[in-house]
Amino acid sequence: MTSPRIALVGANGHGRWHRRVIGPLHDAGQVRLVALVDTAPIEPEPAAPVPAGVPVFTDHRTMLADVTPDVVVICTPPHTHLRIARDAVTAGADVLLEKPPVLSTTEHQELAGALTTTGRVVQVGFQALGSAALTALTAAVSAGRVGTVSGIATVAAWQRPDAYYARAPWAGRRLLDGRPVLDGALANPLAHAVMQCLAVAEAVGGGPVQPVSIEVERYRVRPIEVDDTAVLRVRPRHGPPIVAAVTLAGEDFIAGEVIVTGDAGRAVLEYPTDRLLLPGEGTAAAVPGRRGLLENLLDHRADPRVSLIAPLARTAPFTAVLTALQAAPTPTLLDGELVDTVGAGPQRVLRVRGVNEVLHRVAEEGRLPSELGVPWAIAPWRTDLVGQE
């Protein structure tokens, strides 16, 4: 059996991370890197130099016609994902698609339809879903370690400097050339936190999450079009509410905690570090082991009985959240004495005073900032999903 032929579309920026994953597999003969695609010259990556003879393209359609890869890894701006992924599966390739996979339920359905027509598969780049710590958490929940679950929440507080919003023309944008981008905290950098909660909700509800209503409060500290601070509450058809409280303007760093509360105790997963605390345990402990999404996709291709970790269908509830964000009003600006400035120039950081305490309370109590009486909070925007009530 010949090694699968892999092409990477979007080889710069975060694409260099994918090159570091593909490189050892290529060197070991498990795959063949047959093409790189980027609109800019390929940046050097010392940890994964481009193998001799690998062609470089500036257009993915030309690459698909000339190279006919078996697998295409797509690491391009979110608003380009649907078109490239659709072209790749139509050309006969399976796809590893960076998160967020697409930006609306309509796009999700279109891509799902293309998979049905072509018989190909899409694995979505929510790599934290491959965590052994998440598996241990969901197993504990299913086994009743936390009892009857009353709430699932996540809290994360990061900081992003001015340079982050200057990294690309689509950074911090809601729309670009009339097309949705949604480069906000919930949709992009902290999307993993939301998806981890949805994965836990699968275990609690015994099946795919079906959102009935979505509420969101969105805020910003810069003249951007999307949220850098947001609180989300999803009420599913089965199981407890899911709450996400996140910011890119935090006072202190919170890597990202998933909190599962039940009548027998509380479990906490720090998903970026795979540290897990279960009821009855004194301290959190690292649970080593992550299954790589590309390796899992290759295993699935070799034996379809191997389930994909993050198939497109599993991300439908996350895409429902993005659909709600598209319809929600522009985030409210927080400024004046509420915001501290640290540093200068491209590394200037803005921090919302007291935001970490607010986010912790939201995660612990399941109530939105407006329900907690936070002075700067606004009433949430809400959508009810038709046909799932």
| Position 154 pLDDT exceeds 60 | yes
| Residues 174-198: tens digit of each pLDDT | 888 888 888 999 999 999 999 999 9
Q: Output the pLDDT for position 178.
A: 82
Count the Cβ atoms, other than its own, within 10 Å of residue 208.
15
User: What amino acid occupies position 108?
Assistant: H
Tell me the residue type at 11: A
- How is 60-126 classified by DSSP, letter by letter? HHHHHHHH--SEEEE-S-GGGHHHHHHHHHHTT-EEEEPSS--SSHHHHHHHHHHHHHH---EEE--
Can you give the pTM of this predicted structure? 0.94
Q: Which pLDDT value is given to residue 179?
A: 83
**Among candidates 54, 61, 64, which has minimal Cα distance to 26?**
54
Q: Enumerate the CATH 3.30.360.10 domain ranges in the chain, comma separated.
A: 129-289+312-384
What would the mean pLDDT of 101-121 be, rounded to a whole number? 97
List beta partners, residue 56.
36
Long-range contacts of 57-60 (CB under 8 A, 24+ apart): 60/9, 60/84, 60/87, 60/88
Question: Collapsing DSSP states into helix, strand and coil, what is residue 7?
Answer: strand
pLDDT of residue 225: 94
Instruction: Give the pLDDT of residue 316.
Output: 97
Over 70: is that where the pLDDT of 98 sits? yes
Under DSSP, the state recorded for 283 is: S
Q: Indicate the average pLDDT of the chain.
A: 95
Name the band, by pLDDT with cuts 50, 70 and 90, for residue 388.
Answer: very low
167 DSSP 8-state letter: S
Q: Which long-range contacts (CB under 8 A, 24 or more apart) does 377-382 make?
A: 377/217, 378/217, 378/332, 379/217, 380/215, 380/216, 380/217, 380/231, 380/233, 381/215, 381/216, 381/217, 381/218, 381/324, 381/327, 381/328, 381/329, 382/213, 382/214, 382/215, 382/216
Architecture of the 5-127 domain: 3-Layer(aba) Sandwich (3.40)
Tokens standing for 264? Answer: 């027998």
Taking the CA atoms of 119, 123, 129 and 130 in sequence, report the sign of the dihedral they define: positive
Measured from the Cβ of residue 210, the count of other Cβ atoms closer than 10 Å reads: 17
pLDDT average, residue stretch 324-351: 96
Tokens for 290, please give them: 């992550």
Write down the pLDDT at residue 296: 98
Q: Are 355 and 228 in contact (CB under 8 A)?
A: no
| Model confidence pLDDT, tens digit, residues 238-259 | 999 999 999 999 999 999 999 9
Question: Where exactly does CATH 3.40.50.720 map onto the chain?
Answer: 5-127
Strand, helix or coil at 338?
helix
**Measured distance CA(189)–CA(101) in Å, rounded:** 13
Of 113, 96, 99, whose CA–CA distance to 308 is shortest?
Answer: 96
Closest CA to 326 of 178, 154, 116, 144: 178
Task: Please report, in angstroms and rounded to a whole number, the separation of the first and last CA atoms in the chain.
Answer: 49
Query: Is pLDDT above 70 for 12?
Result: yes
Express each pLDDT in 252-305 by its tens digit: 999 999 999 999 999 999 999 999 999 999 899 999 999 999 999 999 999 999
Q: How confident is the model at residue 124 (pLDDT cuts 50, 70, 90)?
A: very high
Structure tokens at 330: 């522009």
Which pLDDT band holds residue 1 (cuts at 50, 70, 90)? low
Contact 367, 195 (CB under 8 A): no
pLDDT over 70 (residue 310) = yes
CATH architecture of the domain covering 129-289+312-384: 2-Layer Sandwich (3.30)
pLDDT at 180: 83
- Look at residue 386 in the predicted model and tell me its pLDDT: 61
Stretch 230-240: mean pLDDT, rounded?
Answer: 96
Eight-state DSSP code of residue 166: G
> For residue 387, is pLDDT > 70?
no
- DSSP H helices, 237-315, are 293-302
Question: In this structure, which amino acid lies at residue 38?
Answer: D
What pLDDT does 346 receive? 96
On the CB side of 201, CA atoms within 13 Å amount to 30
CB 350 within 8 A of CB 222: yes
Query: If you average pLDDT over residues 34-43, what whole number do you get?
Result: 97
